[in-house]
A and B are shown apart, each in its own frame.
Chain A
Amino acid sequence: MERLLAERDRETIVGDLREEYAASILPNLGRLRADSWYLRQALSFVPRFFSERGPTGEILLCVSLVTLACACWLAAMEGLLRHPGYVTRVGVAISIAVISLAVIVVRMLHLEARSERWLWTAAVALIGIGGHAFLRNARAAHFEGFVLLISLIFVLQGLLMLIFLGRSGERESRSLPT
């Protein structure tokens, strides 16, 4: 719950909810329904969470979800078809899925500052993988539309991550005492 709220509101809003939970919801509804009430209250802050993050953060989150789906699909297809060298490609697809999942978690849990260095590396890696796949596909005898799409999504996610990390760095430097 606290992770969904801006720092300014964490104490007061969580305090309000706890107070109502303890004073009227739990005695009236019982543990199970009271917990469900608390969950509904927490979920009502999700739209606010996204609106506070700014457009780059929102787009990055959406692209990360698409990238995660693409990577899972690639890993599954490579695993099923088992063309030569599939193990490496499954490994790459799983790595991309892990990066995307990590970006989603980082965005949701406000962990940017703590994980910045590896995120920069992951962003560059995504651009590299996407660019490489794009060029190989463009030069290949059989052009694959889905490879073009997925490679562009990877490059887009990498670029968005770089923009986002750059902005985080700016925000951090502005908030540091001089």
Chain B
Amino acid sequence: MATSATDPPPRPAGEPLLAAAGLRRTVEDRVLYDDLTFTVASGERVAVRGPSGSGKTLLLRSLAGLEPLETGRVVLLGIEQSAWSMPAYRRRLMLLPQRPSLPEGPVDRALAAPFAFRAHAGRRYDPSAARAYLERVGRTTAFLEKETGRLSGGEQQLTALLRVLLLEPQILLLDEPTASLDADAAEAVEALVAAWLERADDRAYLWTSHDAAQIERVSSRSVEVGAR
């Protein structure tokens, strides 16, 4: 058995899904946040709030392990980030970046592609799950055959979100998922995330947004970044 965790033991009841403690981030001698500590429990809908440039994106990237941690620790499902094999970690905690990138080709090939990664071994792309999500936002199966290069901004974001949801992470980090989308597309994104959250009771998300009304709708509590 490898030293890095790929299949953690069941968590004791009441243990948070994700715990962060003492996180700091500096960019060119400027401290963005310091001693940031919070936990996320099952079913929680958490907003990450802070002014522009306060480091919300960097925080989400650090939680996803795309940035090294400057200080402190991140614990996922009771295991330190540093003890996880990162692909296995990211299979459970997924970041939807602000500007996700889609490969060329039809939408359903883009949705199926990540299932080829070893971290998802044993799981397969299920087109019926994709169709079920699409139906909830009033899209037909024809959407799956569209070329990714011809999608509108809203449709691209929808595809990227769908791709993440089909991989069934336990924790989702959403970085401005509806920035630059119109109201209809934003509503679709919110509906999809809500549908994913309902499907199991050990899920949670962190969501950043500039839209106060949206924050109000999608979150039950918040983590403040850069409030010094």
Pairing of A with B: no
Residues of B within 8 A of A (CB): none
